[in-house]
Structure 1
Amino acid sequence: MYLGIFLLKMRSGMSNQLISTIFGISKSSIRRAVSTVISALMKNFVPQNIGLQHISRQEVIENHTRPLAQSLFGNAAQNQAIAVLDGTYIFIQKSNNFHFHRRTYSLHKGRPLVKPMVVVSTDGYFLTVVGPYLADYRNNDAAIFNHMLRSNIEDIKNWFQEDDIFVVDRGFRDALTVLEDFGIKAFMPHLLAKGEKQMPALEANASRLVTKIRWVVEAANSRIKRWKYLGHTLPTNQVPFIGDYVRIVCAISNEYLAPLSTGNADDDEALATKMQYLAKRVNSLQTFVEENALDRRSSNWEVAPDSLNFPKLDEEELRNLTCDVYQVRLCPSYMQEYIEGDADILVHKEHPGLIRVKLQRRHVTSKKYLLWIQYSESTVSAWYCKCSAGARVVGVCSHIASVVWYLGFARHNGGSSSGVQNWGDFVKDAAIIDVPDTDDSEVEE
């Protein structure tokens, strides 16, 4: 019964008051049940299912490394372990201890929180969770990772060996030199150079290889937050137990849930070969656009007819083009503005197989991106977008994917705006003045 109470609390996020009402016992009994279960799980269950010492390095390589990651970044002959790292957030209430409040206040999130550091394999298996850490500028992802290495938490320096691989995000950039000192290879998306608005094609391609593998840690963090108690803002008196809560739910995930990322060895090898080949190519359409000033000359473009001879694509061809499904999921939302008449698809008068579209950026009203797509009757052959990652040829950005999805798939299948609802009709807009209707008969002359 105690275990059921604990799991109900973690999974549903219910308060002790509500749970006590459901079970017909006092709140003190609920607190005692939760405390008892935490102690028991942390003593017996958690050490067997999470932490670097619960699993051997060789077992991770053989059973928890996706072939795609090994093909993109590893070398099977070197027997390398590949790990993906990221910090996650557990929000807490404001503390009346001002020093603690300052140290846990995140300027990035604009609220107090603590940060566990999550380390997963490339199939989403939780290797370990360290922390939680404070949230101020002294505890960014790079500083936390440096602390893990220099403190040799869970004997991390002996568990990982020279030439092993860490896949990280840009928040770890200040830890790269430390990783090199320990002989660890790090792969991170490229940063925009000062003054640049767009990554060069080769750097954008290399970044796409990283994000193809790194997404699994984001999905793992999301799996933690599915336990609704950890998705709530916790009272400060729960801070001592947050690390235990996170480790327990991660251990449960390891023991009972399916891997987040799986792949057939042959399919993964074929995809890796394709992505590595594309990663070495520059964007030929970008060169053509820049040499012919197609971003400035508007007289050579006209609105595309409804009968535009764009190649018809199926879902498998779309996935092959994007190298993922994430961009495809965003397509209906991006194309809604085109469907509602806020964007035009233009075709070049002299090059019928070349179209241009200006799409609204989803986060910023004042920003729009120009994009170009080159196609033939049977295939989409080239693309280029002015967004920061739009020069890549390893997959496509969401803007390119949206236009291709609409022209090649949705308009033939009646799903162009499926699932996209504008809820603004139910919310007032202070920028619009509502003038009430006036009955002319009641107006005095």
Structure 2
Amino acid sequence: MGKELFKHMRKREYPCVCCKKRTNQRDRRTVTAAQRLVLQKWTVGDVSEDEVLCSLCRVKVHSHLKRRKSEQQNLEHELRDTAPFSPPERKQINARNAAIHSPPSVTLTVPSTSSSHSSCFICRKPGPKLVVVSSNERHSVFLQQGVLIPPGSRCCTRHLPNGRFTEEALEKISSFSETSTLNRTSIVDMLMYLREIALLNGGKRIYFDDPNALSDQEYVNLTGINKVSFDDLLSAVDGKVKNTSTRSVRTSLGIFLLKMRCGLSNEMLSTLLNVSKSSIRRAISVVRRTLMETFVPNNVGFQHISREDVINKHTRPLAKSLFGGTGTQAILVLDGTYIYIQKSMNFAFQRKSYSMHKGRPLVKPMIVVTTSGYYLSVLGPYVAKNNDAAILSHIMKTNKEDVLKWIEERDVFDVDRGFRDSLTLLEDLGLVSAMPAFMKKGEKQMSTADANTSRLVTKIRWVVESANARIKRWKFFDRVLPSSQVPFISDFIKIVCGISNKLH
């Protein structure tokens, strides 16, 4: 009985669970738990604990496990660099990576462009002056157009100035294939980009950091200027305004222009842009100071432009024929506009700023424009108790912005009847005043000469009314401003007028 059992044990075979080859005692290896999971995917059925592997199959399984571990470590390293995951989230990621084994690349039913390196994928023109499209720009095109640009794709430099696609290039981008092949790195990069956009934007619609997030018309609706003009104005504050953890320089400028254009409260801006109210306030303040230092002196004020340029470039031929005489006189149109403010707690300022004519507190900036509507200067603002004549007299007597050095004799000031008390001062300075005539005492109708003179003055001075209306299109000035903003009204108006002069 014992001899038969011994013979049976000697005759027992140990085949390899993978290749089914008979193994001897030296070539026989037991199966570990990790190897068992791999073998269950390679073979049909369960692998028991008493199964064995030959040396060759064990090397194959070990190499597969090593390669898989290396890929998981690389993916975890990329995720760690791009996002600070919490320990529970990282544990879930590790478990998911250990349980799922994906192929090196996948094919998705997403349209894609061509991926030639020797020709432009937009216009199909050959090189050699081609540039590689950056990953952020490729992802941005996918967000807007729904078309994937393969990594390494190249295009002409005229399509991608400053690393961004032009509007014309975006319209010409078309799909070459109905499918896209993506590897793991491309998928991770796209997911991280989308995650960054979602976190920074907070799920909100208004987002300035990505130049392609908003269309050109949306820039006009929100900021009053198009995308090209926005980038031009950005160059005036870039390097002067710092980037913070909550807002970039581009976002700070967008906040300022959005405040001016739409007149929204800081609470509303905080909700729309996902930025704290205090950060909104600081952004408006720092952009205002920077624009006053770098942008306004070159675009608004008597000293930013010469008399010759005003006469030759910003004077209408009709005005020259009516009031220009020899054509060497500067013709300026003056008028004051109203900016309504809240009732002040300072009683002295409250009395000065209250207008008996309008029945509410306000301040009055003096607008000086050319006959073409170009903003030459903005002076003030002055309190409501001063009429237009008193404001003009104060400007001339105090020589605001060195105006007396800029003007010359026989220059024409086109004014309305509110300046009648300052006509004597203008005559003493050698200036010519053009003002609608008054009916004389006892007259019921103007004479033909006075009526024609009034019509000519009105035909020229309507541009200042239009200029005042352009200021009020920035809804910040069409609201009742709080008393805390009164010291900065002059800065805001000068910035808006400078933007109109240069960018419109």
TM-score range, shorter chain: 0.5 to 0.7
Q: Which residue of 1 is the match for residue 366 of structure 2?
A: 117
> How many Å separate the matches in 1 of 2:442 and 2:265?
50
Going from structure 1 to structure 2, the CA distance change for 1:196 and 1:236 (only over 3 Å counts) comes to farther
Q: Does 1:64 align with 2:314?
A: yes
Distance in 1 (alpha carbons) for counterparts of 2:499 and 2:445: 42
User: Residue 41 of structure 1: which of 287, 291, 306 is its match?
Assistant: 291
Paired with 1:222 and 1:195, the residues of 2 have a C-alpha distance of 37
The yes-or-no answer on 1:95 pairing with 2:344 is yes
- Once the 2 structures are TM-superposed, how far is the Cα of residue 195 of structure 1 from its aligned partner? 4.2
CA distance in 1: counterparts of 2:290 and 2:391, whole angstroms: 29
Aligned equivalent of 2:380: 131
* SS of corresponding position for 1:93: coil
CA drift at 1:198 = 2.8
3-state DSSP of counterpart to 2:476:
helix
- Report the equivalent of 2:494: 247
Tell me the residue number matched to 2:413.
Answer: 166
Q: Secondary structure at the match of 1:130?
A: strand
* Shift in Å, 1:202: 2.1
Counterpart Cα distance in 2 of 1:106 and 1:96: 16
Q: Deviations over 1:257-298 (max 9, x none)?
A: 1xxxxxxxxxxxxxxxxxxxxxxxxxxxxxxxxxxxxxxxxx
Unmatched tracts of structure 1, length 5 or more: 258-445
> 2:459 is aligned with what amino acid?
K
Instruction: Write the distance in 1 (CA, Å) between the matches of 2:276 and 2:370.
Output: 42
Residue deviations 1:54-98 (CA, integer Å, cap 9, x gap) = 000110000000000010011135x11100000011000111212
The letter for the 2-side match of 1:163 is: R
Report the alpha carbon displacement of residue 239 of structure 1 after superposing the two structures with TM.
0.3
2:334 counterpart residue number: 85
* 1:175 equivalenced with 2:422 (yes/no): yes
Whose radius of gyration is greater, 1 or 2?
2
Note the 1:289-368 alignment, pairs <5 A: none
Task: Map 1:210-229 to 2 at 5 A.
Answer: 210-229=457-476
What is the CA–CA distance in structure 1 between the aligned matches of 2:350 and 2:330, rounded to whole Å? 38
Q: How far, CA to CA, are the matches of 2:357 and 2:430 in structure 1?
A: 31
State the shift of 1:203 in Å: 1.0
1:134-179 deviation digits (Å, cap 9, x = unpaired): 111xx11001000000101111111000011110000000000000
| Distance apart, 1:227 and its partner CA | 0.2
- 1:21 Cα deviation after fit: 0.4
Partners of 2:463 and 2:443 in 1: CA distance: 29
Distance 2:469 2:375 in 1: 13
Q: Secondary structure at the match of 2:315?
A: coil
Counterpart Cα distance in 2 of 1:55 and 1:163? 19
Aligned to 1:291: none
- What is residue 423 of structure 1 aligned with on the other side? none
Determine the C-alpha separation between the residues in 1 that align with 2:431 and 2:420. Answer: 14
Alpha-carbon distance between aligned partners in 2 of 1:214 and 1:190, rounded to the nearest angstrom: 14
Which structure carries more relative contact order (alpha carbon 8 Å, separation 6+)?
Answer: 1
Which of 470, 481, 491 is equivalent to 1:234?
481
Deviation at residue 11 of structure 1 after TM alignment = 0.2
Distance across 2 between alignment mates of 1:197 and 1:6: 53
Matched residues in 2 for 1:100 and 1:193: separation? 38
State the alpha-carbon separation in 1 of the partners of residues 477 and 338 from structure 2. Answer: 9
Is 1:73 the counterpart of 2:323? The answer is yes
Secondary structure of 1:118's partner? strand
Which amino acid is 1:147 matched to? Answer: H
Shift of 1:200: 2.3
Deviation at 1:107, TM superposition (A): 1.2
Distance in 2, matches of 1:140 and 1:43, equals 30
SS at match of 2:477: helix
> Does the residue aligned with 2:368 lie in a helix, a strand or coil?
strand
Aligned with 2:372: secondary structure?
A: coil
Q: Distance in 2 between matches of 1:224 and 1:198?
A: 36
**Aligned partners of 1:100, 1:197: CA distance in 2, in Å?**
42
Aligned to 2:158: none
- TM-score normalized by the length of structure 1: 0.56
1:116 partner letter: P
Match in the other structure for 2:432: 185
Residue 441 of structure 2 corresponds to residue 194 of structure 1: yes
Give the Cα–Cα distance (whole angstroms) in 2 for the partners of residues 76 and 228 of structure 1. Answer: 41
